[in-house]
């Protein structure tokens, strides 16, 4: 069964003095399957939180529809089956961690005995057993994030939606959250989480969706995203004379690099690699290695962002503004 399904989900906000419509989510078609960890990756302002809020029924779409566990997101029955960690959870800071969880447990109508048991269990799960009696205003950022996660699990949900669960955490805290997400998956739960921290997504996700400027531009299993695109093929060779060097510099997609005897250059396609190898052998060179270089998730991500958000190119071309 599909845990999340959206069809043409679109959101516009009216902003500014003239109340102009700005489309921040364009025609999102997304499917999240049962038991998977789905990473929703995108830069700041891409539309991740907007998507989460639409799925949680906190805001309404301009067009399109969304279902969770087969029910329309506006169906209240959905609420009982999902857990949600918002981006900026509002914490009643004078409550203790224990009281905070108790409050949410009551909202879900969990009977008191079971509630108490679950709170203890969750405090233990997120490593806050000793902090249950401490007021939230005395919690560190990492502790707040963890109590927020415990809150998202209070109703033992089938599916968990986490908006940037690793944000503000140090590397140890991030690892703890990753392990927690993996343990949820091991219990058969589905996890949909957003992030802009690529290694966190890379380490635990079964499938990834990349959203830029409100558009889902890639979606698929991580291995597929990583393994699909050939960035270049690196060839290392030795024994090239000057004429051969000149010729190879023309083939190469980046300036050849010399390291000891060897020279490294790169071509863009498999076909070119074959041609170059043939030329090199003819010219009496020795070939040491032919290595395909596939894009990492980070390279994918940076390339997509640069393509879709030209303003955020790492090194903008100066003086090319043009125009009248
Ligand atoms: N209530 C609103 N009114 C007007 N514009 C909004 C509103 N909420 C979000 N936006 C705009 O929608 C776009 C997407 O915002 P969103 O919060 O979904 O991005 P995000 O991917 O979660 O970013 P971040 O990584 O910074 O959390 C942004 O340009 C934002 O300014
Ligand atoms: Mg956000």
Q: Are residues 190 and 95 in the same domain?
A: yes
CA of 231 to the centre of ligand 1 (A): 32
| Nearest CA residue ID for atom 16, ligand 1 | 47
CA of 73 to the centre of ligand 2 (A): 20
Per-residue confidence (pLDDT) for residue 223, from 0 to 100: 78
Residues 29 and 99 reside in one and the same domain: yes
pLDDT per residue as tens digits for the range 17-39: 888 999 999 999 999 999 999 99
Domain match, 52 and 190 both: yes
Q: Which ligand number lies closest to the CA of residue 24? A: 1
Ligand 1 atom with minimal separation from the 164 CA:
27
CA-CA distance, 196 to 198, in Å (whole number)?
Answer: 6
**What is residue 83's predicted lDDT score, i.e. its pLDDT?**
96
Domain coverage including residue 254: 230-294
34 & 158 share domain: yes
Residue 307 is assigned to a structural domain of this protein: no
Same domain, 106 and 32: yes
What pLDDT shows up at residue 293?
A: 84
pLDDT of res. 109: 93
Q: Which helix (H) or strand (E) holds 268?
A: none
Q: Is 94 exposed, middle or buried (0-12, 13-18, 19+ CB in 10 A)?
A: exposed
Per-residue confidence (pLDDT) for residue 171, from 0 to 100: 87
DSSP letters of 6-53?
A: EEEEEEEEEETTTTEEEEEEEEEEEEEETT-EEEEE--TTSSHHHHHH
* Pocket-testing residue among 18, 44, 50, ligand 1, by greatest number of atoms within 8 A of Cβ: 50
What ligand is nearest to the CA atom of residue 48? 1
pLDDT, tens digit (0-9, with 9 covering 90-100), for 216-275 = 998 998 878 776 678 889 999 999 999 999 999 999 998 999 999 999 999 999 999 999
Looking at the structure, do residues 273 and 147 belong to the same domain, yes or no?
Answer: no
Same domain, 145 and 289: no
Write the residue with the smallest CA distance to atom 27 of ligand 1.
44
Q: Which of 165, 185, 219 is the last residue of a domain?
A: 219
| Ligand 1 nearest-atom number relative to CA 11 | 12
State the distance from the centre of ligand 2 to the C-alpha of 241, rounded, in angstroms.
Answer: 56
- Measuring from atom 7 of ligand 1, which residue has the nearest CA? 13
Strands 37-41 and 207-212: parallel
Which of ligand 1's atoms lies nearest the C-alpha of 196? Answer: 25
Residue of the CA atom closest to atom 26 of ligand 1? 44
Q: Residue 289 is part of a domain; what is its CATH number?
A: 3.30.70.120
Ligand 1: lining residues by beta carbon, under 6 Å: 13, 15, 24, 42, 44-50, 87, 196
Closest-approaching ligand to the CA atom of 45: 1
Domain count for the chain, please give it: 2
Q: Which atom from ligand 1 is nearest to the alpha carbon of 43?
A: 25
Same domain (yes/no): 71, 124: yes
Spans in the chain with pLDDT lower than 50: 314-324
**What pLDDT is attached to residue 90?**
67
Distance in Å, CA 298 to ligand 2 centroid:
19
Residues 14 and 114 in one domain: yes
- Partner residues linked to 14 by β-bridges: 21
How many angstroms does the Cα of residue 84 sit away from the middle of ligand 2?
14
Cross-strand partners of 6: 30, 66
Ligand lying nearest the CA atom of residue 20: 1
Q: How would you classify residue 156: left for phi > 0, otherwise alpha for psi between -120 and 50, otherwise beta?
A: left
């Amino acid at each position: 069964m599909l845990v999340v399904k959206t069809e043409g989900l679109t959101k516009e906000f009216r902003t500014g003095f003239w109340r102009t419509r700005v489309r921040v989510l364009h025609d999102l078609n997304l499917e999240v399957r049962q038991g998977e960890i789905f990473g929703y990756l995108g830069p700041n302002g891409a539309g991740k939180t907007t998507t989460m809020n639409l799925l949680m029924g906190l805001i309404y779409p301009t067009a399109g529809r969304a279902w969770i566990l087969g029910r329309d997101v506006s169906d209240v029955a959905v609420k009982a089956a999902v857990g949600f960690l918002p981006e900026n959870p509002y914490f009643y800071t004078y409550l203790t961690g224990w009281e905070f969880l108790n409050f949410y447990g009551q909202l879900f109508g969990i009977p008191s005995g079971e509630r108490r048991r679950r709170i203890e269990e969750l405090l233990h799960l997120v490593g806050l057993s000793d902090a249950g009696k401490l007021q939230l205003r005395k919690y560190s950022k990492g502790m707040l994030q963890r109590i927020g996660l415990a809150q998202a699990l209070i109703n033992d949900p089938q599916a968990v939606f986490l908006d940037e669960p690793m944000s503000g955490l140090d590397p140890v805290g991030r690892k703890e959250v990753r392990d927690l997400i993996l343990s949820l998956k091991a219990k058969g739960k589905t996890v949909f989480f957003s992030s802009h921290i690529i290694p966190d997504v890379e380490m635990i996700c079964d499938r990834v969706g990349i959203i830029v400027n409100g558009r889902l531009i890639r979606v698929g299993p991580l291995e597929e995203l990583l393994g699909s695109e050939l960035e270049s093929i690196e060839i290392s060779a030795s024994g090239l004379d000057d004429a051969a060097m000149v010729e190879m510099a023309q083939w190469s997609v980046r300036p050849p690099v010399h390291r000891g005897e060897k020279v490294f250059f790169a071509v863009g396609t498999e076909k070119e690699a074959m041609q170059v190898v043939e030329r090199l052998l003819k010219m009496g060179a020795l070939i040491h290695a032919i290595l395909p270089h596939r894009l990492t998730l980070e390279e994918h991500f940076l390339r997509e962002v640069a393509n879709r958000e030209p303003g955020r190119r790492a090194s903008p071309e100066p003086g090319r503004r043009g125009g009248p």
